[in-house]
Structure 1
Amino acid sequence: MFFRNLTLFRFSPAVADDLNRLDEVLGEYRLRPCGPMEMGTKGFVPPVGRGEEAALTHVVHACTMVTVGSEDKLLPGAVVNDELHRRVQKIAEEEGRKVGGRERKRLKEDVLNELVPRAFIRSSRQRAYVDKKNGWLVLDTSSRKSAENTLTQMREALGSFPAVPLAPEEGPRVLMTDWLANGNLPAGLAFGDEVELRDPASATGAIAKCRRQDLDGEEVKEHLRNGKQVFQLGLTFDERMSFVLGEDLIVRKLKFLDVVVDELGDSHPDAAAEADATFALLTLELERLLGKLEEWFGLPRPAEA
């Protein structure tokens, strides 16, 4: 249940009150199986457990986890085009004529009608939780598109969910460059072993990616002297978690260190108890990290819905 990436949104206290409805509204938006002629479906699935009786939310203190599931048919365009080409060729050979645009379109529809019901189905899950006390929507993804899709599902279920992207008052790229260039790290932070530096002067500027490298080394400093800025920076927070922070404030490669994992223990009586303990630990650790991100970069919580 530990998240591996964090894409973040914020919402107001008024919105937090409305989120108390989550458990009662999600039932109408449960994931249903993909129909024979559908290319995909989306809906909510239980964050913990399986089956129709399992709850669609998992609550610990002020945090509520939800999971959006999807079923998508795998039907590569090349497969469709190959079959369409075969049928067009057959008509040309057997009837001695060319297939026009309108007929080609009808043939393609016939191909899709035959192939879609037989296509393989790929299932996926997107986890997220809302922290009603502090006004965070936290999604376990580094993909902005995936995050927006999950947010759309939540808005559809609630009728409205005005969560907004982060609006930092301090420029992340400038601030992280200062951290690296001058060693002005906030208390509790330490450098990891990777960084991505880019020339901000142009979209095609030089890019330097360093991994498994001392970030205090001369090679990194030379890039900084040449005008490159930090776009992604590996960090360790309070010796409890490591991650790579992007200038878009997406947290990637999040890993909880042994000291945190050891606190979870392995003496839980059942899967539900383990899920409760893991989610509680996850949200407590991230509450501290997100509070610091708010402080360092100036990430105001919306005052109104």
Structure 2
Amino acid sequence: MWFKNLKLYSLTQDIDITEQDLEDKLAEFKFRPCGSQELATMGWGSPFNQGKTLIHATAGRIWLTLKKQERILPATVVNAELADKVAQIEAETGSSVGKKAQQDMKQEIIQRLLPQAFTKNSFTHGFISTRDKLVVVDSSADGKAEAFLAMLRKAIGSLPVMPLARQSVQIELTSWLKDDSAPKDIKILEEAELKALEEDGAIVRVKNQDLYSDEIANHLEAGKLVQKIGIEWSETLNAIIQEDLSIKRLKFTDMIKEQNDDIPKDQMDARLDANFALMSGEIVRFAERLKEIFNLTEEE
């Protein structure tokens, strides 16, 4: 289980909770499947495929998995049936069907079709490292990350977190290109997004492009700032860093992933444990390095 995106949050206060306490509190909000008339349900599941526990702890880092189930009821199906019903009523009565009546009919159709609808499961993974005062969510979307934090806060009563970067780092990212000032352990790759300062300003997206070329320099001189940039860090991972310090398209290098290749593939739980320990340790190191690079402190 290798995270693909990172939303990074700092714990602003210590959390006084044991692993068993956390397990017990999450159990109160354990995942259950959708009922026949429910569009969606959400709750805590096991990080392991067939696991019985709702947490998995390694080296003080606690892995959590939020599971969501949704009923798939395409709007086209509902609207087509509604259109047929409206047409039938209008043909029989000679009168048009008002908006409120159509809305009521639509709800009746949805309630009737819901029990027959297929379900889709999705998972949001994350981990807590109280020792490092860090919460990490594997998500590219703010909404999913916020849902994960909200459910965790609901379970344990309080979750004092703030984004790792509380303001944009686009000035610093821009200086990496403009002043050739990227840290020595950061290798700039050939992908970026630049944006003009105006709210509806021009956006330039480049891929497979030397970011130190004259073409990019001209955009920077014109006042565009770096919104996203591809990097490799310390021969450990490749990723896109965004101006809010979200990390997207995270890929660990073979040098990292091959470290657990000696664990037999049929020992799935052992491999998941080892991979999580390795991955989460590297993410914590990366987060600490980001704090150093961008001078992020709790008092920021």
In 2 relative to 1, CA 246–102 (structure 1 residues): closer, same or farther, beyond 3 Å? Answer: closer
Query: Aligned runs of 1:113-262 on 2, under 5 Å?
Result: 113-168=111-166, 171-200=168-197, 202-262=198-258
Other structure's SS at 1:18 match: coil
Name the SS of the counterpart of 1:29 in structure 2.
coil
1:194, 1:234 within 8 Å by CA — same for their partners in 2?
A: yes
Q: Can you give the 5+ residue segments of structure 2 that lack an aligned partner in the other structure?
A: none
Q: Give the conservation status (yes or no) of the 8 Å contact 1:13–1:132.
A: no
1:19-76 Cα distance to aligned partner (Å, 9 max, x none): 643212111211101000000000011101326xx11101001100000001111123
In structure 2, the partner of 1:84 is 82
SS in 1 for 2:160: coil
Alpha-carbon offset, residue 187 of structure 1 = 2.7
What residue number does 1:95 align with?
93
**Alignment-mate amino acid for residue 277 of structure 2:** A
SS of the counterpart of 2:28? helix
> Identical aligned pairs, as a percentage?
32
- Which range moves more in the overlay, 136-145 or 74-83? 74-83
1:265 corresponds in structure 2 to 261
**SS of aligned partner of 2:88:** helix
Task: Point out where structure 1 has 5 or more consecutive residues left out of the alignment.
Answer: none
CA RMSD between the two structures? 1.8
Deviation at 1:302, TM superposition (A): 7.1
* Residues in 1 aligned to 2:98 and 2:205: alpha-carbon distance in whole angstroms: 52
Whether the 8 Å contact between 2:14 and 2:133 is mirrored in structure 1 is no
TM-score (norm 1): 0.92
Q: Secondary structure at the match of 1:70?
A: strand
1:6 aligned onto 2:3: no
Conserved 8 A contact 1:168-1:297: no
Q: What CA distance in whole angstroms lies between the structure 1 residues aligned with 2:212 and 2:100?
A: 65
1:287 and 2:281 are equivalent in the alignment: no
TM-score by length of 2: 0.93
Distance in 2 (alpha carbons) for counterparts of 1:236 and 1:61:
26
Q: What are the Cα deviations for residues 230-261 of structure 1, in whole angstroms up to 9, with x where unaligned?
A: 11011111111111100011001111111111
